[in-house]
Amino acid sequence: MKCEEVRIKINGLIDNELAESEIDALLDHLSTCKSCRAYYKELLRMNREMLRAAPPDPADNWYIDFRKRFFRKTGGFLGRLFFIGSYLVLLIYSLFQLFKAPNEDLAIKLIIGGIFAGFLLLLVVSIADRIKESKNDRYRGVIR
């Protein structure tokens, strides 16, 4: 067995993932090759140290920071959603009332309808631009 193959299989030996036949051949090689044996001992030492090391504790205020960010983002989204939704409902209602009124001139109805359509188009374009910009924002992770 070549040293390159042994070094690949040593990880499997440490993780207890090798078949019996592979283990025997690997141990035979380790008994005769000093460099592979030193590599095996070093990996065993590192594995023991990693098992002893505990994961770091989270910061004391991680939950508070998480809640602030979550509610800030959620609140901002819901605020925009309610504002835009209310605006659209108001536009639709006012257009409905305008076109329902029998004594208004048709030209006035069309002009006001065109103004509302223009506002609606500008609103949709500005929202689409904002969404596009937010996906490419370089400062997205910066907390303001």
Q: Which residue type does 19 have?
A: A
Q: Which residue type does 16 have?
A: N
User: Which of 127, 114, 120 is CA-nearest to residue 91?
Assistant: 120
Report the pLDDT value the prediction gives residue 42, as an integer from 0 to 100: 92
User: Which of 32, 29, 31 is CA-nearest to residue 4?
Assistant: 29
Could you tell me the two tokens for 66? 């998480």
Q: Residues with Cβ < 8 Å from 23, sequence gap 6 or more?
A: 13
Report the pLDDT value the prediction gives residue 50, as an integer from 0 to 100: 84
* Tens of each residue's pLDDT in the chain, 144 residues: 788 888 888 888 888 888 888 888 888 888 999 999 999 899 989 988 888 887 777 777 776 777 777 777 788 788 888 988 898 888 888 888 887 888 878 888 888 888 888 988 998 899 888 888 877 777 666 665
Neighbours of 36 (CB within 10 A): 22
Report the pLDDT value the prediction gives residue 143, as an integer from 0 to 100: 63
**Mean pLDDT (the chain, rounded):** 83
Report the pLDDT value the prediction gives residue 84, as an integer from 0 to 100: 85
Contact 28, 13 (CB under 8 A): no
Residue reference for tokens 């901002």: 76
Mapped onto helix, strand or coil, the DSSP state of residue 137 is coil
Report the pLDDT value the prediction gives residue 142, as an integer from 0 to 100: 65
- Angle, in degrees to the nearest 10, between helices 3-14 and 20-32: 120
